[in-house]
Amino acid sequence: MKNFLYIVFIILILLQFIPTKVENPKTDKNLEIKVSSELSTIFKRSCYDCHSNEVKLPWYNSIAPASFYIQRHVNLGRQWLNFSTWENYTEEEKDKKLKGIFRTVYAAMPLASYVSLHKEAKLTKEEIKLIRDWTGKAPF
């Protein structure tokens, strides 16, 4: 048991040497999604840490393995949907993303692991309704 703990400890130390990097690329403000200030506040609070170029990194971002998760969430999150570069999407892409937002805000987004560490990110029923009404989409 003692040896096992030593090994876990050493692995954790070694993991710290694997570099990760999450950067916020400078982005033209005109490309950002244009929504009411109410919606903008909700998105900034609950989505921007993975779906924008204005990611706020927590203190544990420099500690592996948390850093790996954060890097993965931000990379994947931006690939799927980036509110900071919304205007770069074609009308067709926007339409798809709005449908995706309609579908995911009900339960899947923000990610549960994120909400467990950022309680304030959880969407209320009213906020979910507000977002869904704004998308103007039915789910399928």
Contact 111, 73 (CB under 8 A): yes
Q: Which of 81, 82, 86, 132 binds ligand HEC (CB under 6 A)?
A: 81
Contact 15, 67 (CB under 8 A): no
Contact 74, 50 (CB under 8 A): yes
Q: How far apart are CA 40 and CA 30, in angstroms?
A: 14
Please tell me whether residue 65 binds ligand HEC under the rule CB under 6 A: no
Which region among 3-11, 22-30, 69-77, 85-93 touches ligand HEC (by CB under 6 A)? 69-77
Please tell me whether residue 9 binds ligand HEC under the rule CB under 6 A: no
Q: 62 or 116, CB closer to ligand HEC?
A: 116
Please tell me whether residue 55 binds ligand HEC under the rule CB under 6 A: no
Minimum Å gap between C-beta 69 and ligand HEC is: 8
CB within 8 Å of 12: residues ≥ 6 apart: 64
* Amino acid at residue number 67: S
Query: Tokens at residue 128, please?
Result: 């979910």
Pick out residues in 119-138 that bind ligand HEC (CB under 6 A): 123
How many of the other CB atoms lie within 10 Å of CB of 8? Answer: 10
Please tell me whether residue 86 binds ligand HEC under the rule CB under 6 A: no
Q: 64 or 105, CB closer to ligand HEC?
A: 105
- DSSP annotation of 56 reads P
Among residues 73, 77, 72, which one has the least CA distance to residue 18?
Answer: 72
Minimum Å gap between C-beta 109 and ligand HEC is: 3
Binding stretches for ligand HEC (CB under 6 A): 46-47, 49-51, 73, 76-77, 80-81, 97, 100-101, 104-105, 109-111, 114, 123
